[in-house]
Structure 1
């Protein structure tokens, strides 16, 4: 029997029993795509039981070769008109079976992707992460991670927001509610349902708090092994949007919705032995292994920024004095740096402050593991911590445009050695598609500045 992640997950046997008694009539079979979205099918429970469990199910391989608007685009080796847009097989991961209490009689199971010959689809985000975690496991270690994901909520439906061009929307708070109990009380029906639904779905909920931008909030979850954290992150992001829609609201995980504070996804990461042995802390201090891991992260920031900041909008968040990092540096509990070290003993961990809320957690965690292992394998020396204001330190900068990040990623020997040419070429093409679309667009900013005055 597959070992459950916790007792709120379901075994396959239990799911099939619930289907047999009509307590579950819908099973969502889903994987995470390049953009970090859940894609898949809603299956009738009996069909899932009779056909999918014994024989499997498939989906078109174009799902890993489209832009954010689901347009088929050129440049992907795995999927094209010339290749006929064939299928990928969905491999059910029974560890991820969960009930979704915000939907009637519905369960979900997340999947890996393989080709019809059962070889892995190496460009799949989940496969990219598991490949890096296999490297960690080969050393007898495990990676633990937690993601802190912010969003902005609005008192409008998604349909009304679309019709308004996503402009002049009313946020659920009209002032800065960072840590405000009154401010979160105003939004508690939404926050409470998200917390309770996620707990019932197998996530370990910490709590919710207000943030700086108007209507901005964060729901926090306890750390777990890196794959579990990425799986939970993808489910939470999808479910939070669904719950908001059910309540006549809309939330966005854009990295930078407006000119105020952006929405981040700080990622905490540490390594431990498979038996729980502490690897980052010994005799009251950081270990050399910890320092090498952090040095590797810093040395590969430019190489992997495209995976930390995967959209054009991601780069608008990198602004001095905004709590979003612009400088490649580390500090002890210093929120102006790209990497912040916090905690001690079992709580010792590094925080990557580069990713925004639009990040694909599988890709970002894979990049962090690859970078950290690069530091360990090459015994990189960690520079002294930056003290004071990183924004004015004169240190090297995080890539500030997608074009810059794309070039660094595509030309990176480290990225190609750790992730593989197929992965690097695939995600470099994703960047090319987005850059071409952005460069062809005429924006409101251009119309405002140029329609009459130029």
Structure 2
């Protein structure tokens, strides 16, 4: 990979266990060697905490093992200059063990493995990811305006210019931005990327999430993808659109409606949505977003153009795709996408069929099964999933669950102000 003219620093980046970009800065004169050999880093980012706390013990190793190395290697075709930092380029890296084998702890490798099953059948999985986020004052952690202006184009607030500048930089960064808008929360935004092959689409979305945070800082703001930052405001969700293609033909389409393949795929999505809930909702806060009558799914329901269901079947000019709406914007995108694609493929292979279509309000649908409503329930569902153990390395599942449990304990153990306010003087 040759560097573009004027690049003095290359950032070799990868996604940690929570999908946050980490990496190393490499001067341009070292790039030819590093591009070929890669670079060693500790494996701890694949199982540490949100604030980079390395555990003393983990299924992947800990203090006794000395946090052994993995190797990050640049992925061909992912090098791109960073337009708001002249002279700097970023390149996405795969994660290998020192012996050259793919790291079983790497979520991106897990997605690559699931996609290889599609490739064996000549299928090209295409997805689009939509992520919501809030732009807030960094000191108060509150919005810049006092009321939401959903889909507002001109409201006189700073958000107009800020959102436009962020989108302009993302396009210059090489991301396929389709649209941006103010969402259904005060200070909440959404930027959508055009669909692409699944691995590239996930890479692009991870790049975008990091870039949005960085560009927000340039405007004196903080961007947060936290699932439920405020009571009474909309949560931030991740919506994943998916369709399967072979030889330029959408396998979800038939002459008179969705194909048999599509319905089996949907059957797989619905069957496994609860089992893979932890991939898309791993924190206590994520489950505060999962509330009835909030447009966040709480059941395994499916339907058509209906935003109360978990899985929408979307038809446009005779062509079909599915949109799964339960994950949060905080999730590791590779694991979420890999889980959904594994579920759909399992449905096709075992000819699963979905339950009854929801035609009205999914929150009151008697045919729908509830999704996990807490971290412990989601952990139990993932641990009990036969497909999770088939589709993903046991080490990845065990380590991911261990990491999530540590985050859960970090939030649940301390006594909170709300507990003191509610109970002191009353009981």
Task: Name the TM-score class by shorter chain.
Answer: over 0.9
Q: Measured at CA, do residues 267 and 85 of structure 1 come closer, stay the same or move farther in structure 2, by a change above 3 Å? A: same
SS at match of 1:182: coil
- How far off its partner does 1:449 sit? 1.0
Aligned counterpart, 2:13: 30
Distance 1:388 1:333 in 2: 10
Distance 2:191 2:13 in 1: 23
Aligned counterpart, 2:120: 138
- How far off its partner does 1:309 sit? 0.9
- How far off its partner does 1:441 sit? 1.8
Q: Measured at CA, do residues 346 and 91 of structure 1 come closer, stay the same or move farther in structure 2, by a change above 3 Å? A: farther
Which of 159, 167, 177 is 1:187 aligned to? 159
Which of 189, 199, 203 is 1:217 aligned to? 189
Aligned counterpart, 2:365: 393
Q: Measured at CA, do residues 420 and 451 of structure 1 come closer, stay the same or move farther in structure 2, by a change above 3 Å? A: same
- How far off its partner does 1:447 sit? 2.0
Aligned counterpart, 1:204: 176
Distance 1:213 1:372 in 2: 32
SS at match of 1:348: strand
Which of 22, 40, 45 is 1:39 aligned to? 22
SS at match of 1:358: coil
Which of 75, 82, 89 is 1:93 aligned to? 75
Aligned counterpart, 2:53: 71
Do the aligned partners of 1:65 and 1:79 also contact (CA within 8 Å) in 2? no
- How far off its partner does 1:104 sit? 2.0
Deviations 1:255-295 (A, max 9, x none): 1001121011111111111x322200021410100000011
Q: Work out whether 1:242 is the aligned partner of 2:214.
A: yes
Which of 289, 292, 302 is 1:330 aligned to? 302
Which of 341, 346, 353 is 1:381 aligned to? 353
Distance 1:248 1:439 in 2: 32
Distance 2:317 2:124 in 1: 17
Aligned counterpart, 2:397: 424
SS at match of 1:233: helix
Aligned counterpart, 2:382: 409
Deviations 1:201-220 (A, max 9, x none): 22111111111111111111
Aligned counterpart, 2:242: 269
Do the aligned partners of 1:281 and 1:344 also contact (CA within 8 Å) in 2? no
Deviations 1:162-203 (A, max 9, x none): xxxx4xx2x133212111112486413221222122112221
Distance 1:43 1:184 in 2: 42
- How far off its partner does 1:315 sit? 0.7
- How far off its partner does 1:343 sit? 2.1
Deviations 1:143-173 (A, max 9, x none): 111111111112x23xx35xxxx4xx2x133
Report the TM-score, using the length of structure 2 for normalisation: 0.96
Report the TM-score, using the length of structure 1 for normalisation: 0.90
Q: After TM superposition, which residue ranges in structure 1, 4 or more long, deviate above 4 angstroms?
A: none
Do the aligned partners of 1:183 and 1:210 also contact (CA within 8 Å) in 2? no
Do the aligned partners of 1:150 and 1:357 also contact (CA within 8 Å) in 2? yes
Which of 98, 116, 120 is 2:102 aligned to? 120
Aligned counterpart, 1:57: 39
Structure 2 alignment gaps of length 5 or more: none
SS at match of 2:184: coil
Do the aligned partners of 1:284 and 1:345 also contact (CA within 8 Å) in 2? no
Do the aligned partners of 1:177 and 1:184 also contact (CA within 8 Å) in 2? no
- How far off its partner does 1:399 sit? 0.4
SS at match of 1:94: coil
SS at match of 2:154: helix
Do the aligned partners of 1:173 and 1:183 also contact (CA within 8 Å) in 2? no
Q: Measured at CA, do residues 397 and 381 of structure 1 come closer, stay the same or move farther in structure 2, by a change above 3 Å? A: same
Which of 309, 318, 328 is 1:356 aligned to? 328
Greater CA drift, 351-360 or 192-201: 192-201
Map 1:250-329 → 2, pairs under 5 A: 250-259=222-231, 260-273=233-246, 275-329=247-301
- Comparing both structures, which one devotes a greater share of its residues to helix? 1
Q: Measured at CA, do residues 184 and 327 of structure 1 come closer, stay the same or move farther in structure 2, by a change above 3 Å? A: farther
SS at match of 1:181: coil
Distance 1:102 1:149 in 2: 22
Deviations 1:207-248 (A, max 9, x none): 111111111111111111111111111111111111111111
Aligned counterpart, 2:420: 447
SS at match of 1:303: coil
SS at match of 1:40: strand
- How far off its partner does 1:53 sit? 2.1
- How far off its partner does 1:92 sit? 0.8
Q: CA RMSD in A?
A: 1.5
Give the total of aligned pairs: 425
